[in-house]
Amino acid sequence: MTEKPSSTEIHALRCADCARSDSLVTDLAPTSRVAIPAEALLGFPDGVPRPRRGVSRRGFLAGSAVGIASIYSAAHLTWESIWDAAAARAAGPAQNSLVCIYLQGGNDGLNAIVPISSDQYPGYVSQRSNIARVLGPSSGTQVGTTVMPGTGSTLAFANPLVSGAGNNGDVKGFDTLYGDGSGGPGSDLAIFPAADYTPPDLSHFDSRDYWFAGALEELETGWLGRWLDTYGSSTNPLQAISLDSSLSKQIRTSTAPVCAIESLTNTSFEITNTNIDANAEVANLAAVPADAANLALTRSRSIYGETVEVSNRLSGIGSVQVAPGYPPNSDLSANLQLAATVLGAGLGTRIITIDWGSFDTHGDQVTSQDPQLSVLSSALAAFKADLAGRGIEQNVVTLVFSEFGRRIMSNDSVGTDHGAGGLVVVSGSSVRGGLAGEHPGVQGDQDGNLVPITDFRTVYQALIGEWLGGDPTAILPDGPFPGIQRYDSGTTLMK
C-alpha cells in the first residue's frame, strides 16, 4: 500500500481503482449519501475484516478517514461494496491484469514458428513434407514464412501469423507485435517456441489439467486461483472472469470469489412477466446457511449469491464497446472486445480467461490451423490497440498457450498426432519482446517429439513475480523453477 485515501468521501461504486470509473459514475447524482462512522466498520458483519491486497482493516482504519459513502443505487448499498471501494482506493493506482488465451486441442507450434536454418530446415521438411511451410513468400497452396528479426535467420513466422496482403490480409499480425525482437520499445511479443513439462504424457486432459493447475498433477485449484486466494479480493467476483459458460480450471479457488460471464446482457436474475426484484429475492435464498459438508448445496447457494454480486457490480457498465481492427465473425474477437470493455470499466478485474479454437489437427491440419493462426495474430494485435485506446494497455498482459505441441513427423491423414513442446506467446507493451526461449530443433526425443526447452511453470513464475505480484513459490508447487533464459541472454519476461 503506497497511497492512503486522500478523500474523505468514499464512493460506493464498483471500484475506485481508476479515475475513469469514478467519472463514469459521478456524472450521476447520488440517490443518497450515508455517513459511515468508524464504529460501523468495527462492527462489519461477516467476512470483511481481514487483510487483503496488503491492506489490513486496522491499517485502513488508521490511515483513512471513514467519511461519506455516496450511494448511487440501492444495489450498491452493501458493506462489501463500500469496503471494496475504500480498500481499492487505499491500494493505490491501477493494478496489472493478465488475460489468458487457451488454444484448445494442442496447437502445432512447429508450423507456427518454423526453424529455417540450413541445419534444421531440411529435417523439418522431410519429417512433415505434406504440411511443411516453404521458405519465403506463399505461392498457390504453399504457405510461406517470414524471417523473425533477431534470430540470426534461424526462425521464421509462418505467414498466416504475419501482417500484410497475401499473408494475413491487410491487418496487423505477430510480426508487428514482435517488432525487431530486441525487447525494446515496440518489441512487445515474447515467444517461447517449446514450453511444456517433461516427460510429456501426450494426453489432452492430463496436459491441460497440468497447465491449468500449474503443477504436474490435477489439483483442486488453478495456479491463478491460488494466486487469487493469496493475493486477491475476498469479495469481488469480477477480479477473475472466465468469458465462457464454464469457469476455467485456471481460476478455480479455495475461497476467493470468481465468476464466469458470457456477455454484458442478461447479467441479472429476472422473472419474466413480473416486475419483482428477483436479484433481491435470490440473494435471500442464497443467504440460507448450508451444512459445509454438503458441497453441492453450499456451492449452489454461494454461486447464486455471487451471481447477484456480479450483477450488482456490472449494473451500469453498458454494452460491449467495439473497437476496429478485430477479425470479423470470430468468437475470439468477441471475447477480446468483451475483455477490453470489462478491463476498461475499472471493476477490479485482474484475470480474464478465454478458451478458444480447435487445434487438435490429426487430419487436414493446414486448412484447419492456418485460418485460426491468422485470426489469433490479428485479434491479438487488435486487442492491444483496443486497450491502448482505453489508456490501459500498459497494465494488461496477454498469455497464449496450448496443452501441448504436436508430433514432428506428420501422419498420412495430412495432420499431426499429439506431441510436446508447445508454443507460448506473451503480449503487451510491458512485455520484453523477442525470443524468450530457444528453439529445440527437429531432432526430437525418442518418441519424435520436440524437446521442451522451457518449463511452462517458468513462464508462470515470471508472470507472478514480475507482473501480478507475489511470491511464486507460494503459488507453484515444486518450485522455484529455472528462470527465463532468453535468446539474447536476458532473464526477464517484462521490460
Partner 1 sequence: MRTKHARHKSHHSSNHRGKHKHRTGRLASTKGRRHRLHRPPGVGVGTGTIGSSSPMSSAMVDRLFWRAGFGPSAEDRATWTGKTVSDLVDWMLSTPAGSSGVPGTDSGSPLDPTGNDTDLVLNWVDQMVRSTNPFVERLTFFWHRHWANSRESVAPPQLMMTQTELFRSYADFAQNPTATFKSLAYAVTIDPSMLRYLTGELNVRGAPNENYARELMELFTLGVVNAAGQPNYSQTDVEQLAKALSGWQINDTNPDAVYSYFTQSRWYDGPKLIFGQFGNFTSADAVNLVIGHPAHPGFIVNALWGEFIVEPPDPSTLQTLIATYTGGGYQLKPLLKQILTHPALFDSIEEPNMVKPPVVYVVGAMRALGVGVTDSTANDYLDDMGELPYFPPNVSGWEGGLSWLNTDTALARFAFISALLANTQIADVPGESAAAAYERAYMATGEPWLAPGTAAAIQSFANGAPSSSADKRIQRQIALRALILAGPDAQVM
Instruction: Considering only residues 267 through 296, tell me which ones interact with partner 1, judged by CB under 8 A.
Output: 267-276, 278, 281-282, 284-292, 294-296
- CA–CA gap between residue 145 and residue 114 (Å, rounded): 8
Place of cell 469479495: 235
Q: Nearer Cβ to partner 1, position 186 or 363?
A: 363
Out of 11, 89, 128, 249, name the contact with partner 1 by CB under 8 A: 249
Out of 9, 22, 201, 471, name the contact with partner 1 by CB under 8 A: 201
The nearest distance, CB 462 to partner 1, in angstroms, is: 25
Site for partner 1 in 127-166 (CB under 8 A): none
Helices marked H in 95-143: 121-127
Q: Nearer Cβ to partner 1, position 104 or 230?
A: 104
SS3 354: strand
SS3 content of the chain, % helix, strand, coil (to 5): 35, 15, 50
* Span interacting with partner 1, options 19-27, 56-64, 231-239, 394-402, rule CB under 8 A: 231-239
The nearest distance, CB 275 to partner 1, in angstroms, is: 7
**Residues 6+ positions from 328 with CB-CB distance below 8 Å:** none
The nearest distance, CB 253 to partner 1, in angstroms, is: 5
Q: Nearer Cβ to partner 1, position 2 or 273?
A: 273
Site for partner 1 in 358-417 (CB under 8 A): 362-363, 411-413, 417
- The answer to whether 234 contacts partner 1 (rule: CB under 8 A) is yes
Pairing of strands 97-103, 351-356: parallel
Q: How far is CA 129 from CA 75, 107, 121, 167, in A?
A: 62, 18, 11, 21
Q: How far is CA 65 from CA 68, 314, 337, 338, in A?
A: 9, 27, 38, 36
Are 324 and 249 in contact by the 8 Å Cβ rule? The answer is no
Are 48 and 236 in contact by the 8 Å Cβ rule? The answer is no
The nearest distance, CB 436 to partner 1, in angstroms, is: 29
- CA–CA gap between residue 105 and residue 402 (Å, rounded): 7
- The answer to whether 445 contacts partner 1 (rule: CB under 8 A) is no
Out of 86, 310, 338, 354, name the contact with partner 1 by CB under 8 A: 310
The nearest distance, CB 74 to partner 1, in angstroms, is: 16
Tell me whether residue 112 is exposed, middle or buried, using C-beta atoms within 10 angstroms of its C-beta: 0 to 12, 13 to 18, 19 or more.
Answer: buried
Out of 32, 139, 153, 203, name the contact with partner 1 by CB under 8 A: 203
The nearest distance, CB 403 to partner 1, in angstroms, is: 11
* Span interacting with partner 1, options 42-50, 112-120, 186-194, 378-386, rule CB under 8 A: 42-50
Site string for partner 1, 313-342 (x = CB under 8 A): ------------------------------
CA end-to-end span of the chain, whole Å?
A: 23
